[in-house]
Amino acid sequence: MRAVILAGGYGKRLRPLTEEIPKNIVPVLGKPLIEWQIEWLSSQGIKDFVLLTGYLGEKIVERLGDGSSLGVRITYSHEKTPLGTGGALMNAYDILKDDKEFIMVNGDVITNLKIDRLLELEEEYVGAIALVPLPSPYGIVKFDESGRIQAFIEKPLIKDYWINAGVYLLRNKIFEYLPDKGDIERTAFPKLAAEGKLKAVTYADVLWKSIDTHKDLEEAAKMLEEAGGRL
Active-site annotation holder among 31, 142, 155, 159 = 155
Task: State the DSSP string of the chain.
Answer: -EEEEEE----GGGTTGGGTS-GGGSEETTEEHHHHHHHHHHTTT--EEEEEE-TTHHHHHHHHTTSGGGTSEEEEEE-SS--HHHHHHHHTHHHHTT-SEEEEEETTEEE---GGGGGG--TT-SEEEEEEEEEPSS-EEEE-TT--EEEEESS-EEEEEEEEEEEEEEEGGGGGT--SSS-TTTTHHHHHHHTT-EEEEE-SS--EEE--SHHHHHHHHHHHHHTTS--
Concerning whether 80 is annotated as a catalytic residue, the answer is: no
Which residues belong to the active site?
155
